[in-house]
A = this chain, B = another copy of it.
């Protein structure tokens, strides 16, 4: 296929808000936040009508080069070469794809209004703990605030009060907690101590914790509570079940 003809097809497709998929031999250059150059090779190129451009090599899950949503995409022929450029102003960056040979050119109008549902995020885990601290933390705690702003230090996932009346800062991690999570919790506990006074406890709630993080946690007088994310989701489903939440299949 002639480069000029391809350029016309692609421009028209994008104008109709269609998606373009190209399998082609190309080179790629990027200049912006950093700078990169990729020599000639065969790749899959996706251009979406929202300005997203992706260049995929035959291996790896991440695109080797890309330009996110909102880029201005233009297509032109330079002799036998098809040149696709995607530019965005802030941050100022430019992606240039030079296509020598097109193996496949697919234009498609995609209709996709389906909702994407995700369970098991950190937000869900946090809310589940707030609703049922006894089940998930093994202790009767009274929620004071979710995403409590702690001055310039940051946000505590949960601020609660224990049965003795002490403030308890809870830092939730959806996956294994590392040293960073401990430092984060330490900062928050320190802030609450200075701001509200009295004894302040810190709980790190996560499915697991690295050895180093646990050692550091103990040294700092902070506590770890093992959380099962599945249990948390179930706890939520259980609650919602009574007020009309969707029934979840519990299959293996």
- Per-residue interface assignment for chain A, residues 37 to 55, with 1 indicating a CB less than 8 Å from any chain B CB and 0 otherwise: 1111111101011101010
How many chain copies does the complex carry? 2
**Cross-chain contact A57 with B212 (CB below 8 angstroms):** no
Of residues 10 to 68 in A, which have CB atoms within 8 Å of B's CB atoms? 19, 21, 23, 27, 33-44, 46, 48-50, 52, 54, 56-61, 64, 66-68
Residue of B nearest to A42 (CB): B110
Bound-state CA distance A174–B35 (Å) is 13
Per the 8 Å Cβ criterion, residues 56-82 of A in contact with B are 56-61, 64, 66-69
Instruction: Say yes or no: A66 contacts B58, CB within 8 Å.
Output: no
Main secondary structure of the interface of A (DSSP, over half): mixed
User: Is A242 part of the binding interface, using a Cβ–Cβ cutoff of 8 Å?
Assistant: no
Q: Are B115 and A44 in contact (CB-based, < 8 A)?
A: no
Chain A, interface size category, equals 35 or more
Point out the residues of chain B lying under 8 angstroms from A39, CB to CB. 114-115
B187 touches A106 (CB 8 A): no
> Is A163 engaged at the interface, CB distance under 8 Å to the other chain?
no
A52 to chain B: closest residue by CB: B61
- Residues of chain A at the chain B interface (Cβ within 8 Å): 19, 21, 23, 27, 33-44, 46, 48-50, 52, 54, 56-61, 64, 66-69, 103-104, 106, 108-121, 152-154, 174-175, 179, 183, 187, 212, 215-216, 229, 233
The 5 closest A-B pairs by CB, nearest first: A41-B112, A39-B114, A34-B120, A42-B110, A58-B110
15 example contacts (A-B, Cβ-Cβ < 8 A) are as follows A19-B23, A27-B114, A34-B120, A35-B119, A37-B116, A38-B117, A42-B111, A43-B112, A48-B56, A49-B58, A58-B112, A61-B66, A61-B67, A104-B106, A152-B216
